Chain A
Amino acid sequence: MTRPPILEVRDLDAFYGDFQALFGVTLDVAEGELVAVIGANGAGKTTFLRAVAGALPVARQAVQFAGQPVGGRPAHEQAAAGIVLVPEGRRIFPSLSVEENLMIGAYRRRPGPWTMARVFELFPALAERRRQPGTNLSGGEQQMLAVGRGLMANPDLLLVDEISLGLAPVVVRHLYEVLRAVTGQGTTTLVVEQDLSQVIRVAQRLYCFRKGTVSLRGRPDELPRTQIAAAYFGV
């Protein structure tokens, strides 16, 4: 890794009440990288993203962002600092139009390259339906809107949870191409994914989670598929 890490996670434990969901997770993301966390259902992927985004209380020192300890800060502070999560299931605001959903992304007015015009360039389908309620869109369009809303925040680190959820493979492929382009334009991206087939083609590095721990890490082109499968399923 030549570029400096923007996100450093060290020995991260996370709990839901008495239930421990993450056990000593350590992970780095360098500036400008597209990193994927893969794993089966219940491996702790979503918990991990929520912990980084501030939706879950964790130890302050466990999450370092741009050299600062930020673990456990509330979500709105993380967003203001540049960590923005595109949540699982898209979570479009139903009372807001497509345009307004995007404008909510820009609520903190962080300066940066992403504007509504550029998001519409990225997803022309959204521009055509800008005045419609956000929840009138198809699943794929809603996912585009959720990603666009996240980009409007001009994040230094974009977290994307399960972008493929409930979408057709051709749509998922398109969305990952877009994420690759977004990363190419300088926005560091960390995605969490259950479905390996698509993400493996665009991710520069891979972490595999199993039962709340990291079971494998490396570059996708250097890891044999059998080894990934073993880390994924634990066989």
Chain B
Amino acid sequence: MQGVLLGGLYALFATGLSLIFGVMRLVNLAHGDFSILAAFLALVVVQAAGLNPLTALVLVVPLMAGLGWLLQRAALNRLLGRGLLPPVLVTFGLSIIIQNALLETFSADSRRLNPGGIETASMRLGSVSVGSLPVLTLVTAVLVLVALQLFISRTALGRAFRATADDRETAALMGIDHRRLYALAMALSLAIVGVAGIFLGIRTTFTFASGPDRLLFAFEAVIIGGLGSLWGTLVGGVILGVAQTVGAKLSPGWGVLTGHLVFLAVLVLRPEGLFAPPRRVD
């Protein structure tokens, strides 16, 4: 049960990663660092305005979205059509820049977002007692995924996302400006990771260097679930969360290791992931 709830958090991290990979085949190595950046932003908002971290979402999420838009417009769109490697290098560099900027600004202390009680509150589900925060996280993750799925499958913009992912050149012939779409996708991705960062910050302590771990877990969730499948991402997050929790029950040090082992097992047995959409033939 704990593992399923932890999976909600991992799914939130992984969704943004999955989205931008699905739409523009771009791997954002700074994804985890952006989540930590969001957590620190929330910390500033909380301290400056005396808000509850969950209320700070209202400010931080649009800020992260704006940052994502700017990042795509100013940097990543310039690298289009030069292969996979340049964006990987740029986001890797960005990851280091963010970590060092956070170190300079906030020192190396570990921080935590204090939401005033909810982090220790619990509720009863049938016969088991579960933490309110993990439940809220999982519910949020599911809501985000449902909203994203509806957006992608039902709206004109979502259709344009899918068309551009299929065939960018033909989409342009239909009047779709892929640079604009990519900026929107990155904004959406960072908005979601902003939510994830704040939930992380409430759940556990974080430092300037917590990003790469988050990225790793997000990657594992995406790969387990299958690239390009949003629901797979949720299941992948849950599987990873369960594996880590079960492992940690066996021995406190084994949690993360068990997660990695499950990830490797999936990679060996079903490299395309559990829920990957059928590959396009063209």
Contacts and interface: CB of A to CB of B under 8 A. Distances in A.
Contacts of B177: 74, 76
Contacts of A103: 156, 159
B162 A79 contact: no
Contacts of B174: 79, 84, 104-105, 107-108, 149, 153
B175 A153 contact: yes
A100 B159 contact: yes
B184 to A, nearest CB: 14
B176 interface: yes
B151 to A, nearest CB: 14
Interface in A67-91: 74-76, 79-80, 84-85, 87, 91
A74 B180 CA distance: 13
Nearest to A146: B170
Contacts of B162: 93, 95-96, 100
Contact of A76 (B156, B176, B282): B176
A9 interface: no
A53 B282 CA distance: 23
A21 B163 CA distance: 29
B173 A104 contact: no
Interface string B206-224: 0000000000000000000
B172 A96 contact: no
28 contacts: A54-B172, A55-B173, A75-B172, A75-B173, A76-B172, A76-B178, A79-B172, A79-B174, A79-B175, A87-B169, A91-B167, A91-B169, A93-B163, A93-B166, A93-B170, A94-B280, A95-B163, A96-B163, A96-B166, A103-B159, A104-B171, A105-B174, A107-B156, A107-B159, A108-B175, A149-B174, A153-B174, A153-B175
Given A87-B173, A91-B167, A107-B160, 12 more contacts: A53-B173, A54-B172, A74-B177, A75-B173, A79-B173, A84-B175, A91-B170, A93-B166, A95-B166, A103-B156, A104-B159, A153-B174
